Amino acid sequence: MTVPSNEDRLARLLDVRVRQPHRIAEMAAARRHPDNLIGQTGRLLLVAADHPARGALRAGDREFAMADRLSLLDRLATALSRPGVDGVLGTADILEDLLLLGALEDKVVIASMNRGGLAGTVFEMDDRFTGYTAAGAARMGWQGGKMLLRIDPDDPATVRTLEACAHAVDALAEQHLMAMVEPFLSERVDGRFRNDLSTEAVVRSSAVAAGLGTTSAHTWLKLPVVEDMDQVLAATTLPVVLLGGEVSSDQGAQFASWRKALAYPSTRGMVVGRSLLYPPDDDVAAAVDATVELMT
């Protein structure tokens, strides 16, 4: 079987987008859906690729790693082809590219909803919903929507994000779709926002996130791996997926922390982006396979 070159992939994507844009909706309607959210290993493993829409292009020490879209798509396709990888989280442009490339059959697809808090801007904490709506995710046949909830006690924009996330949780529940909420306590340090990854901060933010909306029936929490995960997971009865976090130079230590957190029964899976797509040795397949092994 001949593997298409990047030039062929680009030509294929552009041809549809220029000549037959209606094919995107048709292919979404014809896509085979997954049977459930449990995952091939009994836990859900998703690859995250919604960083570019917020202007966050860095992966490890590579400042513009995610700016090369064909490279990103190639890495995503590799990850999605590996046994044990259940799906992907992304914005419309990336998900539609993957759909056109045939990479989303039988996959759990989570739509990224609020990307308005662009990295490095004065309005970064105003995480407006500039991506998917619940109705849009349902129309495409995706399985859920993900929202970022950064809480800065000193920034009044936080309350708008809280309200918008609450409405999104309700809208997704009305469509019977997963609402994946990713909460942080955040603060501006030397002009840049930093997420507080102390155990206390993650407990507080997850408690706030769990209470959003008029029902939590479809809500899952996406939480970072921190010290004393037992305290974090004791704070909620909602399903939790672990956030993979930044690319680490010590991949062994990172995997060890993931393994420890996955030992808790309320941890129902992982959502990992740059750590799998841009590992230190650039071997995407090996990084994915090692993560799948942790899930079993």
pLDDT tens sequence across 271-282:
999 999 999 899
Structural domain boundaries in the chain? 36-295
- The one-letter code for the residue type at 265 is P
For residues 146 and 140, what is the distance between their CA atoms, to the nearest angstrom? 15
Residues in the chain: 296
Q: Which residues of the chain have pLDDT under 70?
A: 1-4, 247-249
The fold adopted by the segment(s) 36-295 is TIM Barrel (3.20.20)
Torsion angle, CA of 239/244/246/248, rounded to 10 degrees? 140
Give residue 248's pLDDT.
67
Tokens matching residue 249: 């130079």
pLDDT reported for residue 239: 96
Query: Which residues does 124 contact at the CB level (< 8 Å), separation at least 6?
Result: 117, 118, 193
Report the half-sphere exposure of 266 (CA within 13 A, side-chain side): 16
Q: State residue 32's pLDDT score.
A: 97
How many C-beta neighbours within 10 Å does residue 18 have? 8
Give the whole-angstrom CA distance, residue 59 versus residue 66.
7
Q: How many CB atoms lie within 10 A of CB 231?
A: 13
Q: What would the pLDDT profile of 108-163 be if each residue is shown by its tens digit?
A: 999 999 999 999 998 998 999 999 999 999 999 999 999 999 999 998 889 999 99
The amino acid at residue 113 is M
The DSSP bridge partners found for residue 109 are 88
Buried b (16+ CB within 10 A) or exposed e, 67-92: eeeeebbbbbbbbbebebbbbbbbbb
How are the residues of the chain apportioned to helix, strand and coil, as percentages rounded to the nearest 5? Answer: 40, 20, 40
Which residues neighbour 89 within 8 Å (Cβ) at sequence distance 6 or greater?
46, 47, 48, 49, 50, 109, 110, 111, 112, 146, 180, 271, 273
pLDDT, position 295: 87
